[in-house]
Structure 1
Amino acid sequence: MSEIATVQAGPRAVSRRAVIEAPVHELFALVANPHRHAELDGSGTVKPEVIGPRELRAGDRFTVRMRMHGVPYRITSTVTRLYPGRVIEWRHPAGHRWRFAFEDLGENRTAVTETWDYSGQRLGRIYEWLRFPALNARGIRSTLEQLQRRYA
């Protein structure tokens, strides 16, 4: 497995990058299908129950069952950016965004950068007080490591 690198994405963004031994189209398809997010998630919070399309497009909404600290809940997110094979981003109802960026390195290798962006949030200090940046950094690292193992 290659190193998981920290990426500077701004003062209120947590971002990590890893090289995955898989073609970009396969990885993008995995992330663009919210019904597969439980397979992808390294945080352990995303559950397999999803309402929404199987292939996301800009503007789509999808609802995912979640569980954090033993508390079940549902989140409906909206796709805010989608460039096939390159970027997909969705906005959480509280306003923060999750983004995956893909860079085709050739020879069935892809650099994947996952970012949790809470810039512009009035809740930013609360997120920091609750230690969400560190928590999400661990979850992102785990997601990327899981992808590396899956395609090793």
Structure 2
Amino acid sequence: MPASQYLQSRRRIVAAGPHEIFELLSDPAMHPVIDGSGTVRASRGAAEKLVLGSTFGMDMRLGVPYRITNRVVEFEQDKLIAWRHFNGHRWRYELEPVAGGTLVTETWDASRLRYKWVLRPLGFTRSTGPNMERTLERLAAHFAPEPR
């Protein structure tokens, strides 16, 4: 399978500043609000803002309910946050101020996975890109101005 299937990114301009977006991304309780995959149900544990090295649990559902623990592996306040779980998937959000808001780049990096063979039969290599697009749509909608 091409390496690009294991490393995918999507971008979108969000009408909010990097600080506001970073505050949302660093709050695990908000992850179900923006999740475009439909798998993230709720955060587990203390409601603390994430920092480098933080671990946080999520209640998930992909056919059946399960729990997963993530660790923050990249962190630059208001610019970059990334976490991974036991199998090595890495989710990264990069924030760049631009005219009209912030360019948000979401990246799914499965290039270092221990068990890559499970991704294809489960459909992750096909569904991840569209799911990231929906996540960025939901993120943008969260910060969209209220209609008058």
Fold match, TM over 0.5? yes
When residues 11 and 41 of structure 1 are mapped into structure 2, their CA distance, relative to the original with a 3 A threshold, is closer
- Paired position in structure 1 for 2:59: 65
Paired position in structure 1 for 2:21: 27
Instruction: Decide whether the 8 Å contact of 1:91 with 1:97 is kept in 2.
Output: yes
Select 1:146's aligned residue among 129, 132, 138.
138
Alignment check: 8 A CA contact 1:34 1:52 kept: no
Question: Is the contact made by 2:87 and 2:114 (CA closer than 8 Å) also made in structure 1?
Answer: no
Asked if 1:89 is matched to 2:82, the reply is: yes
TM-score (norm 1): 0.86
Query: C-alpha offsets along residues 110-150 of structure 1, whole Å, 9 cap, x if unaligned?
Result: 00011110012232232123221222112111001112222
User: Which whole-Å CA distance do the structure 1 matches of 2:21 and 2:12 have between them?
Assistant: 12
What residue in structure 2 maps to residue 99 of structure 1? 92
SS in 2 for 1:139: helix
Structure (1/2) with the larger helix percentage: 2
Matched, 1:135 2:123: no
Aligned residue pairs, count: 142
1:74 paired residue number:
67
- What RMSD, in angstroms, separates the aligned Cα atoms of the two structures? 1.7
% identical aligned pairs:
39
Would the aligned equivalents of 2:92 and 2:108 in 1 still touch at CA under 8 Å? yes
Q: Which amino acid aligns with 2:139?
A: L
User: d(CA) in 2 for partners of 1:151 and 1:15?
Assistant: 21
**Cα drift, residue 90 of structure 1:** 0.4
- Give unmatched runs, 5+ long, in structure 2: none
Superposed, 1:115-126 pairs within 5 Å as: 115-126=107-118
